[in-house]
DNA sequence: GATACTAGTTACCTAAAGGAAAGCGGTATC
DNA sequence: GATACCGCTTTCCTTTAGGTAACTAGTATC
């Protein structure tokens, strides 16, 4: 009694579990900074003060907390080099590489979204009030 | 003086702008509920109380606020049918379809992440304290 | 008149996110 | 001794997210 079409339509249970996978992902990746930090460190391992300058708007307190969280969740490692003054380099783990596609899709979407917003601002302005 | 390798390495400016695209995306998609709601409504348009039951843990206040935000950002439309009692159906717009890949990648990642967490709990338990 | 269904709203509260500004311990340099 | 750099921490504060519980208006049914 099962048609071919039925096979392609996810069951209610499948949808609910897919939603919970998305929720699981959001639970560890939540907030304003985690994905931008992972993206940045995947490009290049960085020192603390280097990131403070590079990541627009982040403060030392917030950066320290986010890096701690990311280390706990095994997205990054903290490497201390006994130079003077001490050098601490943060770099991503192999587990961060599993986020490659997510980061890529999110970046692409953000780019086109910014274009859409810009366009809608232009549209608003062209309807000039008399 | 530019080598072939240089061409493949994104410039610092390119990275900074990609980071800001990701931040732009997070700005509209932030929080615990927006992506799960978009995913759910993309599967099937739903009524308010229907979603209250379907989306685990959401309360009417939070649901109403999230739906308002999503409507403002043109991810969903709110359709009112003059039945008795009134029926309000929320459905996604074509713009939500642009999130298809993001949702897919995030769902996949969340699924394997849950597996990883489960595994690490199993690993912890197998190191049994005497 | 009581109850139930619709789609929410209202008031109150807690916890977490996030920001501003200053400070700290260590070392090195002027 | 003063200043500077590094990698943070501390304190204080505001904002936002999110949750609890009760309640509302409109209509219909028992």
Report pLDDT digits (tens) over A16-61: 789 999 999 999 999 999 999 999 999 999 999 999 999 999 999 9
Q: Do A109 and B56 touch (CB under 8 A)?
A: no
What pLDDT does residue A123 have? 87
> A22 contacts in B (CB within 8 Å)?
35-36, 39, 103, 106-107, 110
Which CATH fold would you assign to the domain B32-98? Answer: Arc Repressor Mutant, subunit A (1.10.10)
What is this structure's pTM?
0.90
What pLDDT does residue A9 have? 60
CA distances, A102 to each of A38, B21, B52, B99 (Å) = 11, 13, 28, 11
Report pLDDT digits (tens) over A52-64: 999 999 999 999 9
What pLDDT does residue B3 have? 45
Cα torsion through B62, B64, B70, B75, rounded to 10: 130
- B8 or A119: whose pLDDT is higher? A119
The answer to which of A8-12, A83-87, A95-99, B121-125 has the lowest mean pLDDT is A8-12
| Nearest partner of A67 among A94, A86, A40, judged by Cα | A40
> B16 contacts in A (CB within 8 Å)?
54, 56
Alpha-carbon distance of A99 to A81, in angstroms, equals: 27
User: Can you name the residues that pair with A92 across neighbouring β-strands?
Assistant: A76
Contacts of A105 (CB under 8 A, 6+ apart): B101, B102, B104, B105
Alpha-carbon distance of A117 to B122, in angstroms, equals: 46
Residues 31-50 of A near strand D (Cβ < 7 Å)?
Answer: 47-50
Q: How far is A72 from chain B (nearest CA, A)?
A: 12
Q: Determine the residue among B62, B110, B114, B121 to mutate to test chain A binding: the one whose Cβ has the most chain A Cβ atoms within 10 Å.
A: B110
Domain boundaries A31-98, corresponding CATH code = 1.10.10.10
Alpha-carbon distance of B38 to B51, in angstroms, equals: 11
């Amino acid at each position: 009694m099962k048609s071919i079409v039925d096979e392609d339509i996810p069951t209610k249970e499948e949808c609910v579990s897919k939603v919970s996978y998305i929720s699981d992902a959001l639970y560890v990746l939540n907030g304003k900074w985690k994905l931008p930090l992972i993206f940045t460190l995947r490009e290049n391992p960085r020192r603390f003060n280097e990131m403070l300058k590079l990541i627009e708007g982040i403060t030392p307190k917030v950066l320290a907390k986010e890096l701690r969280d990311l280390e706990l969740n095994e997205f990054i490692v903290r490497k201390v080099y006994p130079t003077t003054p001490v050098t601490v380099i943060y770099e991503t783990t192999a587990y961060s590489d599993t986020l490659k596609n997510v980061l890529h899709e999110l970046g692409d979407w953000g780019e086109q979204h910014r274009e859409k917003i810009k366009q809608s601002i232009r549209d608003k302005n062209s309807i000039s009030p008399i």
